[in-house]
Structure 1
């Protein structure tokens, strides 16, 4: 009995069709049929029954398939490991990122990581911060890219940089040409902001209360891109982090002060969940990318 006999048998057990099984193994139908017959003769048991044009697996065939399937998978993994370039990682990373970072930074991080680790599979979700925290705690995410969370969680936060939030206006808005705007000047200002479930909105509401401003929140939207597009087309203004600005065309970004809203983006891990080498490498790549960007700045 040779390995090819078992691969032919597995293919036929999966397809129950000699033609498709032969195509899967890149051999002729007669070759596959002959190899299956050899295997049955060596084992002294029929593995398949031919009922007219139908192929049925026998009880002995079912038993053999259950025993060899894990072994064949292990062999394939070993062969793939040998064929993979040294230093190239395999496996899957599950990432959750807030809307702000999923617009610009995450695609750049993924492109850099995949260029060095083409065998990796990445599942990236765009989620609110609260959902990222929940999924990390229940182990359905490996890594989060978000802002510093509030207390009351079992997560470890690694800060990356501090980011000032800016006022976004259309180019023809009265505040568009200003270098700086005090938060109190946003009193009664028509605005579009994230809903109150977002940490960013909660922090902005605190800034408004601190300076005594009460803006008119005309539209609440749970995504940054349509919010910015709405600002382009109306007299509304918005407040977002600078990293969320994918395209400044038709928009003006104005610094805010008294107080200046500042957020701290970073990487979120579950405590004790840093054993995955691929996840550690992805986080290290984010650190390097941020350090290069800060150095260029």
Structure 2
């Protein structure tokens, strides 16, 4: 039997405790879980009172679990995992994905890939609804691990415990240059002919910058965070220089004034895209079928290289 004190603790309360442990900060955890810091602190204290022991050491620069808290965090993770399985079991049935696939897509990929997916998805998975969430890859993978999403499209990253993945396709980058750039009139431009200090690169989408692209030198120190491809194009149009943009965005970017597009001569910078899902997902077969659909579509889209 569960005690009266513990019965007042909700799954949301346990998820808040898990967020504090993951973020190492009440403020960061509150931001990630869309709750005020004071509200989060109150809910964590409620869990601690119900369990009869402190879960975190407070007062340092980083909030750390107590020895007992570290042990109980494993049980909390198990409880949340069991609750997720219960929800999936209730949703699962003869309909693919239990009726809904909650898919996370990077904001620099979604607007250009999804138009190719929207029509064939219901044909391949009748009665299943496709729900899209956009964001940064790291944030999407975190939401996947926490059960908020069912699958995520993202570049391959460091192994995340509890997640499986399969390769989908490679998307090359092409160059976007200010129209006044000395090489703007060329159909193909070699990266070695460019000045790395003129590059405007995005922190997450372009990896470690020009060093990842085999170019000498270093990008400008004011590296920007990820934003929309159209906003990146606007920066180049205003600031000059050049950037790298995914080839799927080619048609939309052609209409932006003061910039021109060019192919990359020789080297093929770009990004690999994989499909991620939780290892414990009850829809592994459906997700495998979805990955096969995406690879088939990639094979029909000019510029993409479908994974084999």
2:95 and 2:277 map into 1 onto residues whose CA distance is 24
Go from structure 1 to structure 2 and tell me whether the alpha carbon gap of 1:153 and 1:244 turns closer, same or farther (over 3 Å shift): farther
1:237 Cα shift?
1.8
The 8 Å contact of residues 93 and 279 in structure 1, kept in 2 or not, is answered as no
CA distance in 1, matches of 2:95, 2:142: 33
Paired with 1:227 and 1:205, the residues of 2 have a C-alpha distance of 16
Q: How far apart, in 2, do the equivalents of 1:124 and 1:152 lie?
A: 22
Q: Give the total of aligned pairs.
A: 209
| Residue 202 of structure 2 is aligned to residue 188 of structure 1 | no
Query: 1:147 and 1:296, CA in 2 relative to 1: closer, same or farther beyond 3 A?
Result: closer
Aligned equivalents of 1:230, 1:185: Cα separation in 2 = 18
How do residues 65-214 of structure 1 correspond to structure 2 at under 5 angstroms?
Answer: 91-114=99-122, 119-178=127-186, 179-183=188-192, 185-189=194-198, 191-194=199-202, 196=203, 198=204, 200-207=205-212, 211-214=215-218
Distance 1:92 1:290 in 2: 23
Q: Does 1:248 align with 2:260?
A: no
Judged with a 3 Å threshold, the aligned counterparts in structure 2 of structure 1 residues 138 and 201 are, in CA distance, closer, same or farther, namely same
- TM-superposed CA distance for 1:93, in Å, is 0.9
Give deviations 1:113-134, integer Å, cap 9, x for gaps: 1356564332211111111221
Aligned to 1:77: none
- Deviation at residue 169 of structure 1 after TM alignment: 1.2
Match of 2:86 in 1: none
SS of the residue 1:286 aligns to: helix
1:285 corresponds to: 293
Distance between the aligned counterparts of 1:291 and 1:177, measured in 2? Answer: 30
Whole-Å separation in 1 of the counterparts to 2:162 and 2:210: 26
- Specify whether residues 294 and 258 from structure 1 end up closer, same or farther in structure 2 by C-alpha distance, changes over 3 A only: closer
Q: C-alpha separation between the residues in 2 aligned to 1:116 and 1:133?
A: 25
The DSSP-based 3-state class of the residue aligned with 1:193 is coil
Gaps of 5+ in 2: 1-92
Shift of 1:221: 4.4
The two structures, once aligned, show a CA RMSD in angstroms of 3.4
Structure 1 portions without partners, runs of 5+: 1-80
CA deviations over 1:87-124 (Å, ceiling 9, x no partner): 99871110001122212102321232135656433221
Aligned residues of 2:172 and 2:269 also touching (Cα < 8 A) = yes
Deviations 1:110-161 (A, max 9, x none): 2321356564332211111111221222222111112111234432222122
Alignment of 1:215-230 (within 5 A): 215-218=219-222, 220-223=224-227, 224-230=229-235
Find the structure with the greater CA-based Rg: 1
Pairwise CA distance, 1:274? 5.4
Partner Cα separation in structure 1 for residue 106 and residue 304 of structure 2: 25
